[in-house]
Amino acid sequence: MIQIQGVHKSFGDLEVLKGIDLEVNKGEVVSVIGGSGSGKSTLLYCINAIEKIQKGKIFVDDIDVHAKETNQDKLRQKLGMVFQQWNSFPHLTVLENAALAPQIVLKQSKEEAIEIAKKELEHVGLGDKFDQYPTRMSGGQQQRLAIARALAMKPDYMLFDEVTSALDPELVGEVLDTLRLLRDDGMTMITVTHEIAFAREVSDKVAFFHEGVIEEMGTPEQVIENPQKERTQQFLSKVLH
């Protein structure tokens, strides 16, 4: 379980998160929607300790993420993350991309890591690309590689930060399909997304962010179909035309 309690985060004088409370239970899919600059992505970065927080607490399986004694490298093994930019390692083949971290972080044998990497790559539909270099692949394929690379670490949670925002429109579908696949596998996920229709379809819970606070939260039916707050209504009417 991920517990976010009263989290404040500032960059210099700019307060990006102004007291966020959110719980994500095992097996849940939580979508975070909202305008740009509302702090959605920053929250993900705080959950896996890429960014420090100024106030509040975040617990991942009861581990206090930002406590001094927490080994954050170790903690990140529980949290797979995929970014807007796919960040394939250009010097490694697709298979090596996915097998690297299990070898050096989890100290798996090469054979073991490669076997797991192959399985994950096949799972996301890259079974025929093992020996290719990622720079030769489409953005959608590279993004699926990024997902498989994170999954090879056998994380308990997956964090998705606007993973389709940098993709050409015709490639969005294949990446969303991969996310649906993970949901069907029972993966616990937090997705920051602009794909409202997708959020409505896959989420157990939707949180609407506005200027650093959660303005409205609930089931997709509540938040997307029957928003109660004015700001949520305004936002949705803009993105849904």
- The residues that touch other proteins, with contacts defined as CB under 8 A, are 48, 50, 73-74, 76-77, 79-81, 83, 85, 87, 89-91, 100-101, 104-106, 133, 146, 149-150, 153
Least distance in angstroms from the C-beta of 184 to other proteins: 24
d(CA 205, CA 228): 15
Instruction: Give the three-state DSSP class for 131.
Output: coil
Instruction: Give the three-state DSSP class for 64.
Output: strand
Nearer to other proteins, 190 or 206 (CB): 190
Least distance in angstroms from the C-beta of 199 to other proteins: 22
Transcribe 207-223 into DSSP letters. Answer: EEEETTEEEEEE-HIII
Nearer to other proteins, 115 or 201 (CB): 115
Nearer to other proteins, 10 or 77 (CB): 77
Report the candidate in 234, 167, 148, 163 with the shortest Cα–Cα distance to residue 202: 163
Least distance in angstroms from the C-beta of 155 to other proteins: 9
Nearer to other proteins, 80 or 140 (CB): 80
Least distance in angstroms from the C-beta of 108 to other proteins: 12
